[in-house]
Structure 1
Amino acid sequence: MKRIIPYLVLVVCLWGCEDVIDVEVPTTEPRLIVNGVLRVDESQQFIPVEIKVTETTNFFEDNPVTELESAIIFYGQPNPDAPEILENLASSSLAEVNPGTGIYVPDPTFDEDQRISAQIIPGTVFILVVEHKGRTYAARTPYSPVVPIDNIEQGDETLFDEDDTEIKITFTDVKGIDNYYVFDFGFGEFLAADDQFIDGQQFEFSYFYDVDLEPGDEIEVSMMGADLEFFNYMDLLVEQTEDDGGVFETPAATARGNVFDITGLDNILVFDNVNRPEDFPLGYFAVVQERKASLVIE
């Protein structure tokens, strides 16, 4: 009993010291976030265009949707002598069909069809231009095709846990050109890869799911094309989210996308961000071909 009394006194003292601490978190000016990765299925008639816009906010709060003054996608083929200039220029005006969602799609109220054909001419470049709170932002991206998935099958190996599920994916790289790939395994899991060591070869690799998968569950793997810039962006995002340290974790780097502030430029189709290093939104705009393969877990 004598040994217990000191511990009881300590518990009472600690209980009496309990107090509420107000933590001041830094506040910053909201930044526009553009989520515009358009996945193209060339077997379909049109590209499923959806550009979602939100704004950054302070800690502990969800990013709220925001509204654009205008949004338009230009597309065409680069001039061989001046690649920054697009020939055969076409456009698609976007609108927030469902107010309050922050999702912009081809405007159905136009006299002409604003949808974009999924039969894209090789080399086509897309430019997204949006107006937000009096400023103009733009992103430029080439269309990135991708090879088919040759095979997908379930393996029987594990990585760190005996409950891991192995999936084997096989594809054949195109020889003689630099190819970049982004894989979407579902469950918010992505992988960025290049062909540095597999140029022109058929290649098989394994991916291990650490989520609970039961026999009969169906998983779908997406393989997307990418240019070097989109590959680097996705590779950085994957690296930063591998070890989630919570809201107070300092990222290894800022994942800057390809959307620039072009307010006041004479030609909005020719832009850069050299003189505005601090004026940029977050997010990314890309137009990529997507191949899918599904598998039923045994």
Structure 2
Amino acid sequence: MKKMILILFVVLYCFSCEDVIEVDVPTDRPRLMVDALMKIDTTVNSSLYTARVKVGATNDFFSEIEPVQLEEITLTNLALGETIVLNEVQTGSGVYSQDTSIDFMTSGTLELQIEHSGQMYRATTTFVPTVPIESLEQGEGTLFSGDETEILVSFTDRANREDFYLFDFDFNEYLVTEDEFYPGQTFSFSYFYEEGLESGSTLEISILGVDEPFYNYMNQLIVQSGGDQGPFQTPAATVIGNVVNTSANLSESERRDNFALGYFAVCQTYSESITIE
């Protein structure tokens, strides 16, 4: 009985000492969020490709990204003079897609146009090639805790061109690199999964070709988030992508202020799998 009374006293004392602390967090107007990262694997024996865009809206710092419905979303190949309309795959999903050809996606400048809540948004890009991953191996190295899992990656840069790369290490973990210090050479590096991985886990690791603006954009996101920031996650601070407000009913300053988040990019992609031992 004395132990029960003592426990009750401690609990009441702890609750009586609690102070309510109110923290002001950043707020912002609702913003359109656009995930238009299109990965094209040219090793697949098919002439078709499904263009896919995910859209949502976010405002408060801790808010979830909610799917939104658009008035219209189109993708135009300016060189070919062809336009496709993307349709929502399921009502309320915020995911829009349409089948097209590999040639449509890989030749000339592509223009994405979005109409949402009476405002127009536009982004342009071109297909960026890359090189295959030559080898994936599990290493034995660690960093600080000793529980990390090391993956060794090798690839050979293509000579006579400036290349930027984005690596997708699964689990929304990304890394960017450029060939400034290894042009035309084989480059090997280690990537560490901080929390370690269970034996038997299979990873799919991809290399994407990106241009310099998208390289800089992803680098900012990765630095802010410590390495686990995907292009459709709410960034810790505002990182402006290439989706521009072009609404004719707004002034230039209003268009600059009412920007969208996210990015439109079309990247050649090679993927390899590795099973953790």
Partner of 2:70: 68
Partner of 1:112: none
Q: Give the total of aligned pairs.
A: 260
Q: Distance in 1 between matches of 2:55 and 2:139?
A: 39
Q: Which structure 1 segments of 5+ residues have no match?
A: 1-8, 76-85, 107-114, 245-249, 266-272
Q: Work out which of the two has the higher radius of gyration on C-alpha atoms and give 1 or 2.
A: 1
Give, as a single letter, the amino acid of the residue that structure 2 aligns with 1:130. Answer: I
2:149 and 2:197 in contact (8 A); partners too: yes
1:97 and 1:105 in contact (8 A); partners too: yes
Q: 1:121 to 1:101 in 2, by over 3 A?
A: closer
Among candidates 259, 276, 285, match of residue 243 of structure 2: 259
Q: 1:243 to 1:37 in 2, by over 3 A?
A: closer
What CA deviation, in whole Å up to 9, does each residue of 1:8-37 have, x standing for no partner? x99977744545555555543201111110
Partner of 1:289: 268
Partner of 1:169: 153
Among candidates 111, 123, 136, match of residue 127 of structure 1: 111
Among candidates 129, 139, 155, match of residue 139 of structure 2: 155
Bigger mean CA deviation after superposition, 41-50 or 9-18: 9-18
2:106 and 2:126 in contact (8 A); partners too: no
Q: Distance in 1 between matches of 2:227 and 2:174?
A: 14
What displacement does 1:285 show?
Answer: 0.8
Q: Distance in 2 between matches of 1:196 and 1:121?
A: 28
Give, as a single letter, the amino acid of the residue that structure 2 aligns with 1:99. Answer: T
What displacement does 1:91 show?
Answer: 1.6
Among candidates 117, 120, 128, match of residue 144 of structure 1: 128
Among candidates 52, 73, 95, match of residue 50 of structure 1: 52
What displacement does 1:45 show?
Answer: 3.0
Bigger mean CA deviation after superposition, 230-239 or 121-130: 121-130
Partner of 1:99: 91
Q: Distance in 1 between matches of 2:183 and 2:261?
A: 33
Identity %: 39
1:39 and 1:48 in contact (8 A); partners too: no
Aligned pairs for 1:209-248 (under 5 A) are 209-242=193-226
Q: CA RMSD in A?
A: 2.7
Q: Which structure 2 segments of 5+ residues have no match?
A: 1-8, 229-234
What displacement does 1:58 show?
Answer: 2.1
Q: 1:182 to 1:281 in 2, by over 3 A?
A: same
Q: 1:94 to 1:212 in 2, by over 3 A?
A: same
What displacement does 1:63 show?
Answer: 1.7
State the secondary structure of the residue aligned to 1:50. strand
State the secondary structure of the residue aligned to 2:81. strand
